[in-house]
Amino acid sequence: MRTGSACITYINSSVWATLRKSPIHNIGVFAIRDIPKGIRITDNDSYTIKHVLNMLRPDELNQIQPDIRKLILDRTAYSKKDSDGFLFYSPNCDAILQAWMNHSDTPNTTGTETLRPIKKGEELTEDYRTLAEGAIHPVSLKHFGFLDKTSQGGTRRSKRKGGTTKKKHIHSYYNSRKDFHYYKKVKDILDSLHFSSIIDIGCRKSPMMKGLGDNVYKAMLDIQEIPPIDGIHMIQADFYTWEPDRTYDVVLCLQVLEHLDKPKEFAQKLLQVGKTVIISVPYKWKKGACKYHTQDPVDKSKVLGWVGREPDEEYIIKDKTRERLICVYKA
């Protein structure tokens, strides 16, 4: 829990925007204060969400910038006033802003960082075309909401002078990658195993679940709400704090670790959840190749440092110009 000056500094330096009705499309992200160029919009990235409480005395609360203070008071999930002060969640815990960011051909952010100064009240936008093949991976689409927003088919309408322009939605992430070699390799590994339960960690619409028999208990875990899929048990939870009710025969974690600030803690918990763990990561991608990766470049030694043991099987699979490392760990 943050208190006092540390809390004030954190809130004042990290809260920049909120959700409002958008003239572009439904809900959008809007600046609640002027934002300089090069500012990271929020610390709220996938599994790095800070589910922490903050506490301030009433006099300290007044040191929070006015627009942020109003946002806190309007949206506090839990609060109390007693001898300790005012207890509240950081606004960055309440919504993953990127999930609601609308498209623009001339965006003012990269999706996570401002490209130019943004005025208070201005809508924050990004260019959906940066989600082109190889630019982003499932965990990012999932956590930032793009699978929901862009895989429904049809068109997106954006209002402009002189009328309404239709914008085609981006094709489903998985539909465009269903023939990738690394997917096929993971499927081959699954076909070689005998199991009665499987869970996919950090993957909202897993292609690996398709074709598994009705006699297999199938589960998927995500920090965001998961759309229901027949025959699959959906778990909305933060994996770091999640307490499983069983040991799974197989655990999948594909293209997730490279996005995390704490991949070691995450990876080692995977081994506690299942008997056989299958992990895939981008292999030796250059730093900056994907703006949502925090761990690139990833190689075998880095994965060894995260997991703490050598894999029982490992494969390097190439799709077009990029490679992925698949590691299999057995109990």
Evaluate if residue 137 carries a pLDDT over 80.
no
Using DSSP's 3-state secondary structure scheme, residue 8 falls into helix
Q: Which residues of 80-92 are buried (b: 16+ CB within 10 A; e: fewer)?
A: eeeeebbbbbbbb
pTM comes to 0.53
Evaluate if residue 136 carries a pLDDT over 70.
no
Mean pLDDT of the chain: 77
Judge whether 246 and 268 are in contact, CB under 8 Å: no
> pLDDT digits over 160-201, tens only?
333 333 233 333 445 555 678 888 899 899 999 999 999 999
Quote the strand ranges of 178-288, DSSP E: 197-201, 217-222, 232-236, 248-254, 274-282
pLDDT tier at 134, thresholds 50, 70, 90: very low
Evaluate if residue 77 carries a pLDDT over 70.
no
> pLDDT digits over 3-55, tens only?
678 778 877 888 888 888 899 888 889 999 999 999 888 654 433 344 456 77
Exposed (0-12), middle (13-18) or buried (19+): which is 74, by Cβ within 10 Å?
exposed
> pLDDT digits over 270-310, tens only?
999 999 999 999 999 998 888 778 999 999 999 999 999 99
Lowest-confidence region among 139-148, 184-193, 199-208: 139-148
Range 121-143 average pLDDT:
60
Identify the CATH class of 2-126: mainly beta
Q: Which pLDDT score is estimated for 133?
A: 38
Judge whether 303 and 325 are in contact, CB under 8 Å: yes
Q: Kindly list the domain boundaries of the chain, sorted by start residue.
A: 2-126, 181-330
CATH superfamily of 181-330: Vaccinia Virus protein VP39 (3.40.50.150)
pLDDT tier at 2, thresholds 50, 70, 90: low
CATH topology match: 2-126 vs 181-330: no
Other CB atoms closer than 10 Å to residue 143's CB: what's the count? 26
Say how many Å lie between the first and final Cα of the chain, rounded.
Answer: 37
